[in-house]
Every structure is written in structure tokens, then in C-alpha cells.
Amino acid sequence: MTRHLRYSCALLLLMGAPLAAAASLQGCRVIANDSQRLACYDSLAGPPPATPASAEAAPPALSRRLENQQAAQGNRFAIVPYKPNYILPLSYTSTRLDNPSYGFPPERSEVKFQISFQFELLHGLLGRNTDLYAAYSQLSFWQAYNGKVSSPFRETDYEPEVGIGYRPPDLRILGLDIPLLRLGFVHQSNGQGGLRSRSWNRIVGTVAFQRGNFAGALRVWKRMRLTSADDNPDITDYLGYGSLLLAYKLHEQTFALTLHDNLRWRANRGALQLDYSFPLTRRLKGYVQYFNGYGESLIDYNRSINRLGIGIMLTDWL
């Protein structure tokens, strides 16, 4: 084949490629069925370029939890968690739990567990990003290993709540995203009478914040006295006027710190709780909790408690 002939063949091939493509496009254009016509175009275009996994930024940890909760609200058979749900079969306090109102000598080893859930009562109450919500939490201390007195429950605190929640579409404060604001009425009591009776009511404002795998919530409350009877008039001297939750998710592990303080210099009182959870199975997490300070339970709101517990967590903060 002469050099001129080779050049002629190459020129014909280069010219034929666009002609063939044009003919193929024309063939796709005349296909009546929409899905078949789209498939024809896709076959000509070839596979789309792969998107690097790093280019798809995962949503922040708190946003993922809020999105899952929002999705579960549509299922009337689903229970949406509020605070963490857990059980600590191994829970020990170095503090003496003696109290004349018990009527029995409590042991320092007991089972501690919490049940907490929430549900949406009305969506779009004051706009598309608002809702009327209700929540319920229950914290119990069970003397399961105290066989001398038939293993009674030493204390159970009940905490119903109702309020208004708002999810700002795009709000940032000090470099932190604000995914949720709430204002609620909270009642907490131990359901007892006489010397063991404890209860109080609060108006609570909550600001949730996040950045990546870091999240938290600032809660500020004002005590409301609805009746003249008051079983614990000095409770804010020990539990203060607010709390701060800080949490960080590292892979499948969660570290959390909760603080409250009365913000008084001379008679300072408060508490801290450290939480660490880690995966055991697809649905269960191992859980370690340490508490030190005032207000672990209502019956002991004015007693400093030092406790370490190990158990299982069903739902976490993140």
C-alpha cells in the first residue's frame, strides 16, 4: 500500500467516525419508548466517570440521627429514641446509700437503667420546619442483688416532656451548625409520697449544635412552681440552671460528657457524667458510664454520688 493510499484510508476512518455517531444518534432519536431511547443514548455515551468516595462528604453525626428520627416518625409502629436507652447490670457506688425514708438497708451494687423515647404530635405547627413533640424518660435504680429485702427498686424517676421544636434550614453560630432548637415543659418526679416525695417542673430551652462527628446540646431551664407544696425547694442549688452535653463519634465508638453546675462561687455544686459506648453486635453496644456529683436521682439530688457502671446500650446520643 502506497503512502498516499494509507493517508486516504486514515482520512476516511476519521471522517466515518462522526458520521457513524451521527447515524447512531439519529437511530436513538426515533425510538418511541422513553426508557429504550434513554438506554440507547447511554450506550453511546459510555459509562459515567467514577466519583471518588472522598468527594461524597458524609453528613454530620447528629444530622444523621435527626434524619433517621424524622424518617421513623412516619412509621406509627416505630419508637423513636430520645435520650440514650441502656441497662447497667454492673453498677457500683462508693457512696453510702442509707436513707431513713427507704425503710431498708440498700446495697451499693445495683442495676441502673434508662428508658427514653419521643414522638411527633403535630408537624408544621408554626411552619414547615416546626413540630409539636412529646417525650418520656424513666431512670430506675434496682436493688437486684439485695436478696435480704426481696430486691426492691430503690428509686425510679419519671420525666414526661412536651414542647415545640424548630429545625433551622441554615443556621451557624461560632462555626457550629445548629440543626435543632427546642422549647419544652418538663415535669420530673419519683411518684412517691411523704418523706420520699420529690418533684419539680421546668421550662427548658435546648440548642443542639454540631460540626462533623462532634455534637452537643446546651440546655437552660427555669424552675416553675405550680403549687404551694414543694418537696425539694433547694433543688436548683444542686442541679443548677442548665446542662451541657458534648459528644464525639469515632468510627462506631461514642464518647460523651454531660455537665451541670449551679454556677456559685462559695457553695459550688454540680456533676459530671462520662459515657463511652462501643459496638458489640449490629444492634447492641457495650457501655461504660461514670457519674460523680449531685442529682443522679431525685431521691439523692442533694447527696454527692460516685458511681461506675458497665452494661449494654440500645440507643446512643449519636
Q: What is the pLDDT of residue 5?
A: 39
Q: What is the pLDDT of residue 176?
A: 96
Active-site hit among 189, 243, 251, 277 = 189
For residue range 100-135, what is the model confidence (pLDDT) as tens digits? Answer: 888 899 999 999 999 999 999 998 878 889 999 999
Query: In whole angstroms, what is the distance from residue 311 CA to residue 290 CA?
Result: 12
For residue range 55-111, what is the model confidence (pLDDT) as tens digits? Answer: 456 789 888 888 787 777 767 666 799 999 999 999 999 999 988 888 899 999 999
Q: Would you place residue 192 in the very low, low, confident or very high pLDDT band (cuts 50, 70, 90)?
A: very high
- In angstroms, the Cα distances linking 231 to 62, 77, 102, 198 are 37, 38, 16, 6
Catalytic residue at 187? yes
Nearest CA among 313, 276, 312 for reference residue 291:
276
For residue range 125-175, what is the model confidence (pLDDT) as tens digits? Answer: 788 899 999 999 999 999 999 999 999 999 999 999 999 999 999 999 999
Q: Would you place residue 44 in the very low, low, confident or very high pLDDT band (cuts 50, 70, 90)?
A: low
- In angstroms, the Cα distances linking 262 to 41, 152, 224, 241 are 68, 32, 17, 6
For residue range 31-43, what is the model confidence (pLDDT) as tens digits? Answer: 766 666 666 656 6
Catalytic residue at 8? no
Q: What is the pLDDT of residue 87?
A: 98
Query: In whole angstroms, what is the distance from residue 30 CA to residue 305 CA?
Result: 79
The secondary structure of the chain, three-state, reads CCHHHHHHHHHHHHHHHHHHHHHHHHHHHCCCCHHHHHHHHHHHHCCCCCCCHHHCCCCCHHHHHHHHHHHHHCCCCCCEECCCEEEEEEEEECCCCCCCCCCCCCCCEEEEEEEEEEEEEEECCCCCCEEEEEEEEEEEEECCCCHHHCCCEEEEEEEEEEEEEECCCCCEECCEEEEEEEEEEEEEECCCCHHHCCEEEEEEEEEEEEECCEEEEEEEEEEECCCCCCCCCCCHHHHCCEEEEEEEEECCEEEEEEEEECCCCCCCCEEEEEEEEEECCCCCEEEEEEEEECCCCCCCCCCCEEEEEEEEEEECCC
Q: What is the pLDDT of residue 195?
A: 87
Q: What is the pLDDT of residue 21?
A: 41
For residue range 226-256, what is the model confidence (pLDDT) as tens digits? Answer: 877 788 999 999 999 999 999 999 999 999 9
Active-site hit among 24, 63, 187, 197 = 187
Between residues 223 and 37, which one has the greater pLDDT? Answer: 223
Segment 212-221 mean pLDDT: 97
Other beta carbons less than 10 A from residue 271's beta carbon: 20
Query: What is the reported pTM?
Result: 0.80
Q: What is the pLDDT of residue 8?
A: 40
Q: What is the pLDDT of residue 126?
A: 82
Please, which residues bridge with residue 176 across strands? 173
